[in-house]
Amino acid sequence: MEVNDLKPDPAQYTFDIIELTNNSLEENISLDIPQYRSYTTTNSVENSDGTTGTVTTELRQATIPASIKVNPSSYDNISIFKFVIYLDGYKHMETLLTLNCLEAS
């Protein structure tokens, strides 16, 4: 999984994934150690005097390797996961992810 627009160091992020549809056992779902990449963005802004300026922002991107093993009896079902991002120990954001497993014929 990839997450963009994270605050730069020393902000501490942690991630969690929770399966909501009972198609997988908890021990079959895991997130590995995130890999971070720093980058900058530059945006144009209008100054109070009407001139245009630029603002450069330092950000990070996280790539979080995930391992999800779905119960074979649930291959035809859609699995729903809640992915949670914590910033310095506080819930920062959460989103729902859906997976539809397709077994090769």
Tell me phi and psi for residue 56, to 5 degrees: -105, 130
Q: Assign 105 a pLDDT band (cuts: 50, 70, 90).
A: very low
Residues facing residue 60 across a β-bridge: 6, 38
Is the per-residue pLDDT at 91 higher than 80? Answer: yes
φ, ψ dihedrals at 36, nearest 5° = -105, 150
Where do the structural domains in the chain lie, given as residue ranges? 2-100
Distance between CA 90 and CA 13 in Å, rounded?
A: 9
Nearest to 72 by CA among 14, 26, 5, 23: 23
Q: pLDDT tens digits, residue range 7-36?
A: 999 999 999 999 898 777 778 899 999 999
Strands 13-19 and 2-6: unpaired
Question: Is residue 104's pLDDT more than 50?
Answer: no
Higher pLDDT, 80 or 71: 80
Instruction: Please give the average per-residue pLDDT across 63-73, as a whole number.
Output: 84
State how far the alpha carbon of 20 is from the alpha carbons of 9, 16, 17, 56, 90, in Å.
Answer: 32, 13, 10, 39, 21
Residue 6: count other Cβ atoms within 10 Å of its Cβ: 19
